[in-house]
């Protein structure tokens, strides 16, 4: 079946550092890939998505490229802020819309 593997956290960074969160997947068919973010005390919010191979999703300075050859969808941001402290989830959606979650990675950005 489909699955998502995401790097474990917590990841602790200083402000303005470069952030990468690795995400790899196994899937049949042509899944969509998503990154969601959960800020403290809030629900899951879509950060970005990509629906086919080589698509790049981007939002709020974050980027991720759907790489079919490496079955990956790594999240990157060039310069993090304290306000980026949150839990980040990598998700895979099958053609019916059923979502498979990664474990979530907590990111802590210090001033």
Partner 1 sequence: EPEVTQTPSHQVTQMGQEVILRCVPISNHLYFYWYRQILGQKVEFLVSFYNNEISEKSEIFDDQFSVERPDGSNFTLKIRSTKLEDSAMYFCASKLGTGGGTDTQYFGPGTRLTVL
Interface positions with partner 1 (CB under 8 A) = 30-32, 34, 36, 41-46, 49, 51, 89, 93-104
Comparison of 66 and 80: residue with beta carbon closer to partner 1: 66
* Residue carrying structure tokens 């800020």: 39
Question: How many Å is the Cα radius of gyration of the chain?
Answer: 13
Query: Least distance in Å: CB of 55 to partner 1?
Result: 10
Residue 61 CA, chain-centre distance (Å), reads: 13
Query: Least distance in Å: CB of 100 to partner 1?
Result: 7
Query: Least distance in Å: CB of 49 to partner 1?
Result: 7
Comparison of 44 and 108: residue with beta carbon closer to partner 1: 44
Comparison of 20 and 52: residue with beta carbon closer to partner 1: 52
Q: Please classify residue 8 by burial: count the beta carbons closer than 10 Å to its beta carbon, then call 0-12 exposed, 13-18 middle and 19+ buried.
A: exposed
Query: Least distance in Å: CB of 16 to partner 1?
Result: 29
Q: Are 71 and 4 in contact (CB under 8 A)?
A: no
> Residues in the chain, how many?
111
The residues facing 59 across adjacent strands are 62
């Amino acid at each position: 079946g489909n699955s998502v593997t995401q790097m474990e956290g917590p990841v602790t960074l200083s402000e303005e550092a470069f952030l990468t969160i690795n995400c790899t997947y196994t899937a049949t068919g042509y899944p969509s890939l998503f990154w969601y973010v959960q800020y403290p005390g809030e629900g899951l919010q879509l950060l970005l998505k990509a629906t086919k191979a080589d698509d790049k999703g981007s939002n709020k300075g974050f980027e991720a490229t759907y790489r079919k050859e490496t079955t990956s969808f790594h999240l990157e941001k060039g310069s993090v802020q304290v306000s980026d402290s949150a839990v980040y989830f990598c998700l895979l959606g099958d053609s019916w819309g059923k979502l498979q979650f990664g474990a979530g990675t907590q990111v802590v950005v210090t001033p």
